[in-house]
Amino acid sequence: MIEIREMLMELCALPGPSGFEEPVTGRIVEMLKPLVDEVWIDTLGNAVGVRKCGKDGAKKLMFDAHIDEVGLIVTGVEEGFLRFAALGGLDARILPAAEVKIQTDPPLYGVICTMPPHVLTKEDTNKSIKIEDMFIDIGMAQEDAEKAVPLGTPGVLAHGLRKIGEDGICGKALDDRAGFAAILRALDLLKDETLDADLYVMASVQEEVGVRGAGPGAYAVAPDECIVIDVGFAKTPDTKPAQVSEELGGGVIISRGPNTNRRLTDIAVGLAKEKEIKHQINVEPGGNSGTNARAIQISRAGVATALFGIPLRYMHGAYEYVLADDIESTAKLLCECAMCS
């Protein structure tokens, strides 16, 4: 049996900002090998595996979750300090004084510069610093920094991962390695089950910089149906019900809206009720859910696509937070969908 928290902490510890996911995809290929019949990495870097059912004319069902994380890329060196830009929606509010890991060989660690509050004006205290005005201190002079860190070198936040309470995981990259952890757990639960569909799984890349990997990956596989697993917002006391209503611990989030297939979504909701799988409904009224579902749905002549979410707090922050029980609920619903395809 796959232990969700241990597996997820291993995946999240690996650096994999958008466009630089190789350390993560390499490990995922090894994790997939005992669970599928074949696994490969495509041109864009998506890791894809397939479990064949052995039946002629079988339908193709795909599970997808992106495995890139928000990060940064070095754009310049000034007086030994690194200028950088964001890879994805990095939250500028949490960056001052944050530790970062620069993906050199071997990796370098640094701290994002911040002014002490003692020397700030009252006006500056209430301002958020723009990323283009920030620098990373790596403890080097100009010449050494230029040699050590070529322009275009990526980096990630270096915050550690923690278990919280009996069921929680807190740290970086849970968006969306928690989604792929649910896929791995589902494959583990399905290993002794007979399926009527060929089951493809995709660990897709570059979602955080414009949903770039999932479309070409889905085009190559040409699935009949796809379930995208991403994270969803989980409410906290400072959120308003109109903004966020999903609960941490409330189970898998099933989305409804024009970015999802009504028939496939109805099947998923029906299975969740029938099998008493903890779940909650999210409404995505726009045509763009902000997930890989938007790209996969319109791949080739169209793919019947459903969207599942794992409740997560503090998205794109230094310490995201999920519960293993919500990942387990997601995995169980994926299993039921696979067995009824």
Specify the pLDDT at position 118.
67
Specify the pLDDT at position 76.
97
Specify the pLDDT at position 119.
66
| Residue ranges of domains in the chain, CATH in brackets | 4-69+172-340 (3.40.630.10), 71-157 (2.40.30.40)
Known catalytic membership, residue 69: no
Q: What's the CA gap between 107 and 241, in Å, rounded? A: 42
Residue 92, classified by CB atoms within 10 Å of its CB into exposed (0-12), middle (13-18) or buried (19+), is middle
* Ramachandran sector of residue 21 (left: φ over 0; alpha: ψ -120 to 50; beta: rest): alpha
> pLDDT tens, 81-115?
999 999 999 999 989 999 999 999 999 999 999 87
Q: How many CB atoms lie within 10 A of CB 269?
A: 16
b/e map of 113-134 (b: 16 or more CB within 10 Å)? beeeeeeeeeeeeeeebebeeb
Specify the pLDDT at position 10.
94
- Those residues of the chain that have pLDDT short of 50 are none
- Identify the active-site residue in 38, 79, 123, 207: 207
Place of tokens 């596989």: 221
Alpha helices in the chain (DSSP H): 4-13, 22-32, 122-125, 142-148, 174-190, 214-221, 262-274, 293-297, 324-340
Specify the pLDDT at position 55.
95
> pLDDT tens, 209-263?
999 999 999 999 999 999 999 999 999 998 887 778 899 999 999 999 999 999 9
Specify the pLDDT at position 1.
52
